[in-house]
Copies of this chain bind each other. A is one copy, B any other.
Amino acid sequence: MDEFEVGAPREPDTRHGRLLLAFTMSLDGFVAGPDVRAGQAMGQGGERLHDWLFTDTSECGVDADMAQEVVGLVGAVILGRRTFDVGLAHWGDTPYPVPSFVLTHQRREPLVMRSAAFTFVDDGILSALHQAHRAASGRDIVVMGARTAQQYLRAGLVDDLILQVAPVLLGSGSRLFDDIAPGPTELRRERVLGSPFVTHLKFSVTRDSSTG
């Protein structure tokens, strides 16, 4: 069954500039605990989700590999204003060392950080995507923040879902997949890998050729 475990793309690799959601999620679907705020960016109890990143996985190289995967793909980031507000102090920089676009309703000058800059986008998710594509030079774009992810899912613009499922039921918090679409969205399973600490899933969104 090994051929189903390690997911190589089953098509010629024409991927570039893909829009990725990359989240660690509890088995019950939460990507943060309740009461997300400055100083508690993952919500109450939500830091449990990231235990796998801080566990000694010397016997489970897959976790270390997966933790680096998005870093290797990302050329730009799009994030919500709320994620920016609660994350900035934690990151002390852009969340990845690449140009980062913050969806907001207020005009604001770019904020230059050590690795890259935050650019504030006040004219919608398509504008942010367009600017991110130009900045990413063909590399992928990562969306951060559950609400922002939901906006891109609703708009049918997400290409890939990279999910780390943590073996815990949080019971409450921010759901990734909430209010996302009026109907079914077919996915293709690209990868399933697991360690005792987390299960690594990757899906791509299936589209017909007219929209893909």
Contacts and interface: CB of A to CB of B under 8 A. Distances in A.
20 contacts: A1-B6, A1-B60, A1-B61, A1-B62, A1-B195, A2-B2, A4-B62, A4-B195, A5-B5, A27-B161, A27-B177, A27-B187, A27-B201, A29-B175, A153-B169, A168-B184, A169-B184, A171-B183, A189-B197, A192-B193
Band of interface residues on A? 35 or more
A177 B169 contact: yes
A122 to B, nearest CB: 29
Q: How many copies does the complex hold?
A: 2
Interface string A1-14: 11011100000000
A12 B78 CA distance: 48
Contacts of A29: 28-29, 175, 177
Interface in A30-75: 45, 48, 60-62
Contacts of A181: 169, 171
A193 B192 CA distance: 7
Contact of A169 (B2, B27, B180, B194): B180
Contacts of A109: none
Contacts of A188: 167, 196
B171 A187 contact: no
